[in-house]
Structure 1
Amino acid sequence: MSTIILFAFLGWRLGKRYDMAVHDSEKDALTDIYNRRYIMDAFPGLQNTADKRLEKLYIFLIDVDNFKSINDRLGHNIGDRILRQVARTLSSVVHRSGYVARWGGDEFLLIIPCTDESGMKLLQNHLQRTIHGCIDDKTVQVSCSFGHAVYPDEGEHLYDLISIADCRMYHHKKKLRHTTERITQTLIQLQSAKR
C-alpha cells in the first residue's frame, strides 16, 4: 500500500513539475501572458484555423510610449508595475477571443481572429482608451502607440506582418509626438499672451 501511495505522490509531483515547465516555456515571467516563443510556435496553427473559417487575423503591435523615461525617472519597480497593468488590461479586453503576448521589453502583440474590419477599429480605439485609464498610480501618465497588420491581406509570414504593424506603430507615435508638441506650443503662446 505504501508503494502505491509513494508512486501516486511521485506521479503527482512530476505532473506538477511538468505543468510548471510548460507554463514557464509559454509565459512571460513578469507579466504572465504569452511570450514570443509561444506565439511563433502557435502562429501556423492560427493561420490554418483562420483559413478554414475564412477569417482574417488582426495583428496589433503595441508599444508603451516613453517607457525608458518612466524607468529612468521613477525606477524599474514602477516600470514593471506598468507593464503588468498594461498586460492585464490587454488580456481583460481580449478575453478568450485572441492571444496577448509580451513581444519584447515594452512591446506587446495581440492576435485576434475576425471578419469585421470596422469591429477591429472599434477594438483598437477601446484598447487605447482603456490603457490610458488602467494605471493605478495617477502620477504616471501612460499612453501606448498601436500598429496593425492583417493576415492574409497584407502578408503570410508573422515577421512580415509584424514589420508592417511596426511601421504603422512608429507612424502613430510620430503623429502623437507632433500633436503633443503643437499643444505644448499653443499653451506656451497662450501663457505669453496673458502676460
Structure 2
Amino acid sequence: MYNLPIERQYLLGPGILLAVLAVIFFTPLNGIFEFDRAAIESGQYWQLFTSQFTHSNLAHLLLNALGVVFIWSLHGEYTNAQRYLFNIMLLSIVTGTAIYLLSPSIHYYTGLSGVLHGVIIWGTLKDIKLGRKDGWLLLIGVIGKLSWEQIHGASDSIASLIESSVATDAHLFGAVAGCVLFLMFDLRKKPT
C-alpha cells in the first residue's frame, strides 16, 4: 500500500510554494514578476527567478499546482521544508537563466513547469538511488516526454488552455537542472 507523505515536515515546503503561487497570481506581482526579455536586458535580472512563480491564467496556475501535488505525492518524503524550498529556488534561478541565455526566441515566459520537471527528475533519481524500480519507469517516461516535446513541440490543447505558448525548452532546462542538483548534492549521500 502506498502512503502519502502527510507529516508536517513533508507538507510545509509544497504548502509554502502553493501559497506563494496563489499570492503572486492574485496580485499585481504576477505582471511585474513575469519574464520579459527587454526588461531583463534593462536590468530587471530578478525576473529570471520570479518568472517561474507567475502564470498566464487560472488554468495555468491550477495545472502547475496539480503538478506540485502530484510530485509531492511521489517524492515528498525525500525532503524537509528547507531542502524543498532550496531545491525550488535553485531550480528557478537555473531555469530562468537558461531560458535567457539559451532560448533567445523566448521574449516572455511564465510558469513553474520547468522547475517542476527539475523536481520530478531529482525525485526520480532519488528513487533509483534507493533501488526503487518504478524510478526507472518514471525516468524513461519523463525522458520520452521531453524528447517528444523537443521533436514535435508542445500540445496545442495545453497552449490553448493556458492561453500561452508552452516553453518546451524550459521543461528541458529544468530537467537538466534537476539532474545536476541531484549529482551535486545527493549522489554521494547515503540513503536514509
Q: Same fold (TM over 0.5)?
A: no
Which bin holds the TM-score, normalised by the shorter protein?
A: 0.3 to 0.5
Normalization by structure 2: what TM-score? Answer: 0.32
Name the one with the larger strand percent: 1
Name the one with the larger helix percent: 2
Larger Rg: 1
Normalization by structure 1: what TM-score? Answer: 0.32
